């Protein structure tokens, strides 16, 4: 399980260090994909990516929204490996999509890791914390 948040720098080549605790869970490999709702990047362990891929492959080709979603997910994804310093290379198109420049937050979100531009993460977190009463009520409605 991925939990916690860590601040890291993205170097000029587009590499970012992945926290050791996360790397241990990603030792079989990882896939980085676009976070389609929040404009962050999602890092999936291979087994989680396979589960998601199986679900996407099962969507009907006749459904235009399903085709669009599948295209966005697969075309925006990349297999990544770690260098000796525990870094992964984030391709330019993914950095551009997510607005990542030099400062980032690497956040554990149960079955995946998210990589956010540090400023966007702070804005998101501040907004979520300000609305925590509404969020709590909604979680109760969902049975949490």
Here the CATH number for the domain that contains residue 81 is 3.40.1550.20
Count the domains in the chain: 1
Per-residue pLDDT of the chain (144 residues; tens, 9 = 90+): 999 999 999 999 999 999 999 999 999 999 999 998 899 999 999 999 999 999 999 999 999 999 999 999 999 999 999 999 999 999 999 999 999 999 999 999 999 999 999 999 999 999 888 877 887 888 788 888
**Within-domain flag for 135:** no
Evaluate whether residue 127 is within a structural domain: no
Asked, for residue 129, whether it belongs to a domain, the answer is no
Query: Is 108 inside a domain boundary?
Result: yes
Q: What are phi and psi of 28, to 5 degrees?
A: -85, 0
Record the pTM. 0.91
Determine how β-strand 87-89 pairs with β-strand 30-35. unpaired
Q: Is 82 contained in some domain?
A: yes
pLDDT at 124: 92
* 113 inside domain: yes
Instruction: Classify residue 42: in a domain, yes or no.
Output: yes
Instruction: Quote the domain boundaries for residue 40.
Output: 5-118
Sheet architecture: strand order including 40-45: 5-9, 103-109, 112-117, 40-45, 30-35, 78-80
Q: Given this model, what pLDDT does residue 47 score?
A: 96
25 is a domain residue: yes
Best CA proximity match to 25, nearest among 42, 53, 47, 41 = 47
């Amino acid at each position: 399980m991925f939990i916690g948040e860590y601040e890291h720098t993205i170097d000029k080549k587009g590499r970012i260090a992945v926290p050791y605790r996360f790397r241990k869970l990603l030792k079989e490999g990882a896939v980085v994909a676009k976070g389609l709702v929040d404009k962050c990047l999602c890092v999936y362990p291979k087994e989680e990516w396979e589960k998601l891929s199986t679900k996407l492959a099962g969507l009907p080709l006749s459904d235009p929204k399903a085709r669009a979603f599948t295209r966005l997910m697969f075309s925006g994804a990349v297999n990544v490996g770690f260098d000796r310093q525990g870094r992964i290379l984030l391709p330019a198109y993914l950095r551009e999509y997510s607005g990542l420049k030099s400062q980032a937050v690497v956040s554990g979100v149960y079955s995946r890791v998210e990589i956010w531009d540090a400023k966007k993460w702070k804005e998101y977190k501040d907004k979520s914390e300000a609305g925590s009463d509404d969020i709590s009520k909604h979680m109760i409605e969902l049975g949490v």
